[in-house]
Structure formats: C-alpha cells, structure tokens
A and B are shown apart, each in its own frame.
Chain A
Amino acid sequence: MNTKLIISIAKSLLIARWRQTMVAAMGVTFGITMFITLLSFMSGLNDMLDNLILNRTPHIKLYNEIKPSNIQPIQLSKKYAGSYAFIHSVKPNSSRLELYNNGAILNTLKKDNRVSGIAPKITAQVFYNIGSIDITGVINGIDVEAENRLFFFSDYVTTGKFIDLINVPNSIILGKGAAEKMLANIGDVIQVTTVKGDIMPLKVVGYFQSGLQDLDKVQSYTSLATAQKLLGKPNNYVTDIQVKLKDMTLAPMIAKEFSTLFGCDAEDIQTANSQFETGTNVRTLISYAVGITLLIVAGFGIYNILNMMIYEKMDSIAILKATGFSGFDVNRIFITIALTIGFIGGFLGLIFGFFLSAAIDQIPFNTSALPTITTYPINYNPKFYFIGTIFSLITTYFAGLFPARKASKIDPVIIIRGK
C-alpha cells in the first residue's frame, strides 16, 4: 500500500516536470548508447585482431627445439657422479627436428578427451628461386583437411582452391607477398631449393593471404606428402603436431603435461601470444573508462535536476511530512524518481545502442590485410547490455541519493512558518 502510494507520488512529480525528466533521461540514454556502441565496436575489433592470430595458432604446439642437450655424456658417467662438470662451448647435437614416434603421439592425442582436434605439420626452410636470385621462405606441409577444419585454412586462400593441394600432385599455395615477388601466376611452376640443396619444381594452385604482410612474403603451403618428398623424408616424418583444445585456458597446464609425456617441446598459445592479450585488455579498459565517464556525466545531470525539483517542491515535501510521511518515505519518493529516470533512459540507451552498433556493422570495411572482413566488426555480446543496465541503475541511484537525503531532512516547521 505504502509502496504503491510512493510510486504514485513519484509518478506525478515526474509527469509534472516531464521536460526536465526527459532531459535527464536523455543524458542517461546518450551515455548508455555510447557505452554499448563503444564496447560492441571495440570488442568486435579486438575479436577480429585476436582471431587474426588465435584462429591460426594451435593451442599447443608439439615440436623439437634446436638446443643443446640438458644432459651431457659426462653427467651419465658413474665415475664422476659426485663432481661438478664445467663444459664450455656446448653445441646442439645433429639436429633432428623430427618428432620421434609421432604415430604413437597422434594416437594418444586422439584418445585424449580434452583435445578437440590435431593437425600434424612439417615446417621446412627453403629458397624460392627467381632467376638467379634466391629468397628465403618457409614451406608448411599440412594435413589439408585437418588444417582447414581447425584453423580455417580456406578463409585465407584468396585465389584458387585449397583442396587442390591434395588433388594436384606437387602443388603449392604461395603467400600473396611471395607470389608477387616471384611474379608467379596460378598454374605456373616455380623452383624451390631445400637447405640441403635439392631442387624441386612445384605447381602454384593458389594464393594465401593471412593479413600479416611479413608472413605472406615468406610462408607457403603444400600437402604433407609433398613436403616429405621435398625433404627426401619417409612418410612418417612430421616436425610439428598442432593441438586444439576444447578449453583454451587449460593450454599452459596441458602443454607441460605433454612435454614430459612425449619428451618433446610444447608451447602453449598464452605464452606464444601474450602480447595480444595485453593489447586486448588495454583496449577493453579504455572503452569501459570512456563509457563509465559518460554515465557519470549523465549522473550529474540527474543530480542537478532532482536538486531543482526538491527546491521547487519544498512545500509539498513539508506538507507530506506534516501529514505523516516520514523522512524515509520522502527519501524513497526521490530515489524512485531517480531510478525511474535511470531505467527509462537506460532502456532507451540499450535500444539505441543496439541500432547504432548495427548501423556500424553495415559500414563497408575492406582492407587487403583482412580478406575475411567486409564491414566493421561488431560484437553483440549480451554481457555489455547487462553491464549497461546495471551501470545506468547504479549511477542514477547515487545521483538520486544525495538530493533524496536532502529532501528527507527538510524540516516542515521552517517551511510552513516561513510563509
């Protein structure tokens, strides 16, 4: 009963001053609109930039690093077990990049239910021969279907068909930058020299564009079998195993486990790309800071308008108190007014924010660096709308708190006698 009465009084006061109410609500609407738009846009950009790397980076990469052995022969000798050995100028042993016993590793990984997919890979240093000039490059021998399934390979093949790597023997998909340097067209045959000096002709079946220019000048892709042939290795030769997990956050832990289990190096995505996370965090922080600043400014608007309303309605407040409304009731009336402004303004802000971000989503955004993107990226995460609602209610509550307290402390005697 009491609540209903308080709401009806608050409603009348709001309607009586509907122009000010609207201005106050518009402040909140503007703040929330910009908050939603800014965060959707920023996090859309973040996701896009992250995906640039994350989509194509395995969560865990198993490989053999070229490095000196941790255990030198002298340390295995029982004769010197109690001694310290000082060894100078240690070198890596005959470098074998191959993952030993990779068939067993692949079987084990397939049975692991934390793993969502695996793709074996061969990385080989090569030279692309252009007339008398050689440029260095890297050829990735990939399991074409697995690579496409886990790392969206086809998205980045801008010309030609990725599946031709399997269908056409001795074929290669060149990085866009490398192809431009070599003036290689689709269907051309290019010469590739391995580090060991073997020369092999490969047919160009497509171009690859990752969005990272430096990468595209160097990287090319062939099938696993072609890479094995190129290097003169048997068909069980694999240098890397790329693992995609169901839960990315577990990568550091599982990487450590695989490293000891399989006796090879394991690199997790968080370690490999820590700088991206930092960038993302800073951008998100800036968007939140700007959004919250806008809301606080709107809060001051509400504060001013409520203060004015209280001065205007001093008589009404006094008579309400004289006829039996307590300070707490008066407080609740003004808090209700503030929250109503916040709720209406915030709700409109969510709607406008949604439409504004939808409009930005339609703006064309073509860049040669990002072949898969055609419009500005927007992230429609409901989380932003939820946070926006909470923030609009919190700021308006605090904006209303002080005027409401002032109103509740009004002494009716002073007002009534002052007339």
Chain B
Amino acid sequence: MEIVLEAKHIYKSFHDPVTVPILKDVSFNISKGDFVSVIGKSGCGKSTLLYILSTMDTDYEGELFIDGELMRNKKEKQLASVRNEKIGFVFQFHYLLNEFSVLRNVMMPGLKLGKYSEQEVEHRAIQKLKMLGIESEAMKLANQLSGGQKQRVAIARALINDPLIIMGDEPTGNLDKKNSTIVFDIFKELAEVYNQTLLIVTHDNEFAQSTHRIIEMEDGRIIR
C-alpha cells in the first residue's frame, strides 16, 4: 500500500511558562484509503498532533513525510502550497467566509491552487456540493445556512483540490445527533466509495468505533 503520511519520532513541548512535554516519540503512518480516527482524553495531545501533521505547527522535533516529502526545512510559502494541494481540513467550527456565497467558499482553495480555470473550478465545486446533497444552497451566503449544512460546505471545500488526505478536528463536535450521523456517513462514503484517506481527531467513541483504524493516545504517546 502507498504510504501517504508518515510521522517519525515526533516530540513536542510547550515552553510557556514552564516546559511541558506534550508529544513523546510519536511514530505512525497512514496508507492511501485509510480511514483513521485519533482518540484520547482531553489534553492527551491529539489536537496538537493533528496541527503538526497538518504543517501549520512547525515547532516540533522529529520527521514528518507527506506524500514522501520531508516537511522540515520547507518555507512558510511552500508549506502553504502543500496544505493547499494535498490536505483538506474540516474543523469543529466551519470557518466559512461570510462575505462570499457557498459556491465561492468551496471554490476558494481551488482558485488559489490555479490548476484549473475558474469555470472548471466552479464546475467541480458544484459536483462536490451535489455529492454532499447541498447544491441547492450554492448561491446563498454562508451565514444563511444551518449548522449541519455549513459543515457539509466545509467538507466540500476540503475536497475541492482532490487532497491526498482529509484531516478533521472534532468535525462533529458542534453538531446534533442527526447532523453528526450525516457527516459521519459522508466520511464513510468518501473512504469506501472514493478511496479517500481520512484522519479524524475525535472524542466521540461511537464515531471512532465505526472507522477502519483507531489510534488511541494517552499522555502524549500512542497506546494503540
């Protein structure tokens, strides 16, 4: 199996006000098509790990490979284009831009990548929205949608550049039961039908149980 993401001996500490180790010797890898969840108690370092894996946090020791490329020593601009091209994000909060329509929000990372023309990006964005069943909301402003719809738009935005991996930080944390189920079903479909690699941080055990692989963390170490 092709390895998409590989972490080797990652250490991370917070230094303010006193040095507190957060991650200790974290090593694992994710292959293409994996549907992985990271669970653990609050403060065990699972979110910190996610932000290191997402290249947004660069203050760590150890080695991180995405798509076989070492992330250390890359400049801020290069890391930004790695995130743009290879990683899709879904956060607990949707973070849509209220000044733009839903369609435009989804198109934004695609326009930034500049691989396709604007018409093609728009076409692809509509396809993604259709896949998630919210194409009828495309022309609305982002703040006119319900919470569940917003999160689906955020997923569509994460998918627009056909990323290598989708990372989620408690993507169902803000949603009610019904919407959580919808979002989970979407992830499952992405993994099983479209062979999409997913790495989801959650504290929802029920959610985690239904994924293909669980990484459990405690006190900055992987225990399972």
Instruction: Name A's B-contacting residues (CB within 8 A).
Output: 1-2, 5, 12-13, 15-16, 315-316, 318-329, 411-413, 416-417, 419
Contact = CB atoms under 8 A, between A and B. Distances in A.
Given A322-B83, A324-B112, A417 B99 contact: no
B97 interface: yes
A327 B103 CA distance: 24
Contacts of B77: 326-328
Given A324-B84, A326-B81, A413 B57 contact: yes
Given A327-B76, A419-B93, A2 B84 contact: no
A67 to B, nearest CB: 77
A326 B84 CA distance: 10
Given A12-B97, A323-B89, A327-B77, 8 more contacts: A16-B98, A322-B56, A322-B91, A326-B77, A326-B81, A327-B76, A413-B57, A417-B47
Given A1-B114, A15-B99, A324 B83 contact: yes
Given A1-B114, A2-B112, A324-B112, A315 B56 contact: no
Nearest to A2: B114
Nearest to A415: B95
A322 B111 contact: no
B109 interface: yes
Contacts of B92: 419
B152 interface: no
A21 B54 CA distance: 35
A1 B111 contact: yes
B95 A315 contact: yes
Contacts of A5: 108, 111-112
Contacts of A315: 95
B168 to A, nearest CB: 12
B85 interface: yes
Contacts of A1: 111, 114, 118
B80 A16 contact: no
Contacts of B89: 322-323
B51 interface: yes
B100 A326 contact: no
Given A413-B51, A416-B91, A325 B80 contact: yes
B139 interface: no
Contacts of B91: 322, 416, 419
Task: Provide the main secondary structure of the chain A interface.
Answer: helix
A416 B95 contact: yes
Contacts of B83: 322-324
Nearest to A416: B91
Contacts of B84: 323-325
B89 to A, nearest CB: 5
A326 B97 contact: no
Interface of B: 47, 51, 54, 56-57, 76-77, 80-81, 83-85, 89, 91-93, 95-100, 108-109, 111-114, 118, 157, 169
Contacts of B54: 322
A1 B56 CA distance: 24
29 contacts: A1-B111, A1-B114, A2-B114, A5-B111, A12-B99, A13-B99, A15-B99, A315-B95, A320-B97, A320-B108, A322-B56, A322-B83, A322-B95, A323-B108, A324-B80, A324-B81, A324-B85, A324-B112, A324-B113, A325-B80, A326-B76, A326-B81, A329-B80, A329-B112, A411-B56, A413-B51, A413-B56, A416-B91, A419-B92
Given A319-B97, A323-B89, A417 B80 contact: no
B56 A323 contact: no
B126 to A, nearest CB: 18
Contact of A323 (B93, B98, B112): B112
Nearest to A327: B76
A412 B76 CA distance: 12
B51 A324 contact: no
Contacts of B157: 323
Contact of B95 (A2, A319, A329): A319
A235 B30 CA distance: 113
Nearest to B117: A1
A15 B54 CA distance: 32
Nearest to A318: B95
A241 to B, nearest CB: 73
A13 to B, nearest CB: 6
Contacts of A320: 97, 108
B109 A324 contact: yes
Closest CB pairs A-B (n = 5) = A324-B84, A326-B80, A319-B95, A12-B99, A1-B114
Given A5-B112, A324-B113, A416 B169 contact: yes
Contacts of A322: 54, 56, 83, 89, 91, 95
Nearest to A323: B109
A316 B118 CA distance: 22
A324 B99 CA distance: 19
Contacts of B98: 16
B111 to A, nearest CB: 5
Contacts of A411: 56
A321 B51 contact: no
B2 to A, nearest CB: 23
Contacts of A419: 91-93
Contacts of B57: 413
Nearest to B83: A324
Nearest to A14: B99
A417 B95 CA distance: 12
Contacts of B95: 315-316, 318-319, 322, 416
Contacts of B111: 1, 5
A340 B156 CA distance: 32
Nearest to A419: B93
B189 to A, nearest CB: 22
